[in-house]
Structure 1
Amino acid sequence: MTANPILLQKKYSRVIECFARQQEISLDAALDFFYHSQVYQLIRDGVSDMHCMSDAYLAEELKQEYAELGCSDR
């Protein structure tokens, strides 16, 4: 299933904001990380209906990917 591109853009912005707050990083840094992440690729490609997951869930997935890449000091 593919999602409406406009709705996806809104979803992306909410997930990026949530992720930035969680990690206490700038929106620019969160935006850059998001668009280079596996999470973004999965959502964009419609894998497992990731776009249907909650914003908090997707932000948590980003947080895990961020930590795995050693980007977090936490």
Structure 2
Amino acid sequence: MKANPILLQKKYSRVIECFARRQGISLDTALDFFYHSDVYRLVREGVSDMHCMSDEYLAEELQQEYQAEC
């Protein structure tokens, strides 16, 4: 299922902000990581309706991916 692109952009910004706050990193760093992450790819492609998950859940998934790469 595909989500409305405008709504997705708003969701992305909320997830990025939450992720940056949790990790204590700048928004620029969080933004760069997000757009190169598996989480972004899955949400963008509509896999498993990831776009329906809460912002907090997606930020947690992003945090786990970030920590795995560090």
Establish whether TM, by shorter chain, passes 0.5.
yes
- Gap regions ≥5 residues in structure 2: none
Misfit runs of 4+, over 4 Å? none
In 2: Cα distance, 1:64 partner to 1:20 partner: 13
Aligned residue number for residue 29 of structure 1? 29
> Aligned residues: percent identity?
80
Q: What is the total number of aligned residue pairs between the two structures?
A: 70
Other-structure match for 1:15: 15
Q: CA RMSD in A?
A: 0.3
Query: Which has the higher Rg, Structure 1 or Structure 2?
Result: 1
1:53 aligns with 2:40: no
Give unpaired runs (5+ residues) of structure 1. none
Q: TM-score, structure 2 length as denominator?
A: 0.99
Query: Which amino acid is 1:50 matched to?
Result: M
By percentage of residues, which structure has more helix? Answer: 2
Alpha-carbon distance, 1:48 to partner: 0.2
